[in-house]
Structure formats: structure tokens, C-alpha cells
Amino acid sequence: MTEPTAAASVQIVCPHCLAANRVPADRPAEKARCGACKAALFDGHPVALTEATFDRLVGRTEIPVVVDFWAPWCGPCRMMAPAFEQAAAQLQPQVRLVKVDTEANPGLAARYGIRSIPTLAVFSHGQELTRQSGAMPLPQLLRWIDAATAYA
């Protein structure tokens, strides 16, 4: 028997309309557009998620998702925000970076037991793989994401 020759595909959820898109795994998704709303699937920036959108994006995305649990009043969170932005610009579309404002979305903070912020968590297919609390500068953030997503 021979294996099917069709290229493997990976499911990416559109951050704008939350439609699930399948994109070829062997082709860069950088320029891929959503089949439903035609917006770019990746724009190089983290995606802000809420209680209404978290499950629909994180639960159905087949690449690793890095979540930054933060809050506007948290100084270290604001300090790390530019590094998280730069990580998104460098790592997407291999990894999806998202932000959850725990003040605006206390239900998500409670569900994941977020006790200190910032807390970074890596999800794969909706399951949390690992997390780390505390702000990280960009090089450390990139190394941590690399290690955390190596087996995702």
C-alpha cells in the first residue's frame, strides 16, 4: 500500500471571524487569507482573546498557541508587552500568540487558575502543555517558547 500523496494540512482559526481554515502544512501560511472573511490569518501581532472567543480559537488551532495572561494594571505585564509583540512578529505563522486580559476576562483566569501575572501558557489542540509566570525579556521568551513548543 502507498501513502496518500495529498499534502498534509493544518487547521488555523481566523482571528477576525473565527472561521476554521485548512492550510497546506508544507506551504508558508504567512500570506494565507481566511476563506470566509478574506482577512490575513496572520498579521504579525498577538491576537486579543476574550471569554467569547478563546475556546473557538485556541481549541481548534492545530499549531501551538502561546497565551499571555496579563492585566492593564500590571507593570511587569506592560514591560513584557513589546517583547511579546516582537515574538509574534518572529514566530508566526509557526506559532500563534494571543493575549488574555485577565481583568476583563476573570472567567478565563479562574478556569486556568492564574494566580500571578504575567503568566504564559502554551496550548496544543486546546490542551495546556506548560506554563511559566513572570516577565521575560525577548531572548528568554523566544527560548522558552521554542522549548515549550518543541513537542507540541
The residue type at 126:
G
Look up residue 148 and give its three cell numbers: 515549550
Nearer of residues 14 and 135 to Zn ion, judged by Cβ = 14
* Sequential DSSP letters for 71-87: -TT-HHHHHHHHHHHHH
Minimum distance between the CB of residue 36 and Zn ion, rounded to whole angstroms?
A: 5
Query: Alpha helices of the chain — where are they, by DSSP H?
Result: 54-58, 75-91, 106-111, 138-148
Is 19 a binding residue for Zn ion by CB under 5 A? The answer is: yes
Active site residue 77: yes
Residue 41 CB, nearest approach to Zn ion (Å): 8
- Could you tell me the smallest distance in angstroms from the CB atom of residue 64 to Zn ion? 20
Tell me whether residue 41 or residue 121 sits nearer to Zn ion (CB atom). 41
* End-to-end CA separation in angstroms for the chain: 29
Nearer to Zn ion, 16 or 131 (CB): 16
CB of 81 to Zn ion, least distance (A): 25
14 or 49: CB nearest Zn ion? 14
- Strands 119-124, 65-70: pairing kind: antiparallel
Where does this chain touch Zn ion (CB under 5 A) — which range of 9-17, 69-77, 126-134, 141-149? 9-17
Backbone angles phi, psi at 36, to 5 degrees: -90, -50
Which 32-61 residues touch Zn ion, going by CB under 5 A? 34, 36-37
